[in-house]
Amino acid sequence: MSSTADRPNPAFATAICSEEACPDNPYNARQRRLHGYDVADLWRQVGFVDALLLLFTGELPGPSQKRMLEVLMVGLMNPGPRHGAVRAAMLAGVSKSAPEHLLPLGLLTGSGSRGGALEVAASHDYLSAHLAEDPLVRARDCLLGDPAPGFGTCHGGPEPIWQQLGADMVAAWPDSPVMAWCDTFAATLMRGGQSWRAPGLVAAAGLALGLGPRESLGLYQLLIAPGVVVQGMEQTHRPISSNPLLPDAHYELTSP
């Protein structure tokens, strides 16, 4: 008789994934299913975006849902070196941090409330709370001093690339009520010098796809991860002396 230590631990309860164990080794799986779909069938018959949306939503997407996420994925795959997560990974890379630490370091640094993953969740909650309202009225209230998370200005003004990305996401899924509301909302904000920001784009997409705020936050981290890791790794090939330092006159020394 084998002891309990010889047996595999019970699997965590999950509605997402099920596995069929090998007859001769219960620790190995001979079949894995995601929301009922055999993973082997998925890799043979559908693309990455289809499988990703299946994993997040439990359903294979329609053409519009798929195209909208493809547009968002390309638009956010590298948010640029001014983004906090990318910048942190770049600085860690040139400072000779361990390469395997660059991605988690960047994502953790980029989770802050302003412009980061936490703002995605806040924007999702905001949109959920106001979708029943007139987007024109809601936008005017924002311009009068009631800011909307995920929208507003970047470095003092609306960033054109986010406006263009938002418009193309709406064009990819024109019959989505959420995306249509956000399109009108962002266009009205634009008249006052505000518009989409990256967290708002992901929050709107997540809400349109039926994701919750936590799942939308996670989607945001996943989407920016390629730029974080690649730009961080690029810096690991450069000498530490290439890291820009401020002249001494810009430092202020204080006594402890």
CA 15 – CA 10 distance, rounded (Å): 15
- Digit-coded pLDDT (tens) for 90-129: 999 999 999 999 999 999 988 886 788 999 999 999 999 9
Runs of H (alpha helix) within the chain: 39-45, 48-57, 63-76, 84-94, 102-109, 117-130, 135-143, 160-172, 177-190, 198-209, 213-236
Residue 5 has pLDDT above 90, yes or no: no
92 and 214 co-located in one domain: yes
Total domains in the chain come to 2
More confident residue, 9 or 111: 111
Range 105-113 contact pairs with CB under 8 angstroms and sequence separation of 24 or more: 106/228, 106/229, 106/232, 107/221, 107/224, 107/225, 107/228, 109/84, 109/85, 110/83, 110/84, 110/85, 110/86, 110/221, 110/224, 110/228, 111/85, 111/221, 112/84
Q: Spell out the residues 6+ positions from residue 125 whose beta carbon is closer than 8 angstroms to its own.
A: 149, 213
What three-state secondary structure class fits 15? coil
- Identify the pLDDT of residue 113: 67
- Tell me if 110 sits within 8 A of 116, measured CB to CB: yes
- Digit-coded pLDDT (tens) for 46-82: 999 999 999 999 999 999 999 999 999 999 999 999 9
68 and 21 co-located in one domain: no
Note whether residue 32 is domain-resident.
yes
Joined together, the tokens standing for residue 91 give 């600085």
- Identify the pLDDT of residue 241: 81
Residue closest to 78 by CA, chosen among 185, 209, 208, 225? 225
Residue closest to 222 by CA, chosen among 88, 100, 48? 48
89 and 152 co-located in one domain: yes
38 and 154 co-located in one domain: no
- Identify the pLDDT of residue 4: 46
Note whether residue 244 is domain-resident.
no
**Look-up: residue for tokens 């995601």?**
34
16 and 88 co-located in one domain: no
- Digit-coded pLDDT (tens) for 194-226: 999 999 999 999 999 999 999 999 999 999 999
CA 172 – CA 31 distance, rounded (Å): 35
225 and 186 co-located in one domain: yes
214 and 102 co-located in one domain: yes
Joined together, the tokens standing for residue 254 give 């204080």
Note whether residue 41 is domain-resident.
yes
- Tell me if 127 sits within 8 A of 204, measured CB to CB: yes
201 and 105 co-located in one domain: yes
Note whether residue 77 is domain-resident.
yes
Beta bridge partners, 29, equal 21
12 and 124 co-located in one domain: no
Give the residue numbers spanning the domain of 19. Answer: 8-45
41 and 76 co-located in one domain: no
CA 163 – CA 182 distance, rounded (Å): 11
- Digit-coded pLDDT (tens) for 244-253: 666 777 767 6
- Identify the pLDDT of residue 3: 44
Note whether residue 88 is domain-resident.
yes
Q: How confident is the model at residue 12 (pLDDT cuts 50, 70, 90)?
A: confident
- Identify the pLDDT of residue 2: 43
Q: Is the pTM of the predicted complex or chain greater than 0.75?
A: yes
CA 203 – CA 87 distance, rounded (Å): 23
Note whether residue 208 is domain-resident.
yes
- Identify the pLDDT of residue 1: 40
Note whether residue 184 is domain-resident.
yes
- Identify the pLDDT of residue 249: 77
77 and 186 co-located in one domain: yes
Note whether residue 252 is domain-resident.
no
Q: How confident is the model at residue 254 (pLDDT cuts 50, 70, 90)?
A: low
- Digit-coded pLDDT (tens) for 147-177: 999 999 988 899 999 999 999 999 999 999 9
69 and 38 co-located in one domain: no
Residue closest to 208 by CA, chosen among 67, 74, 65? 65
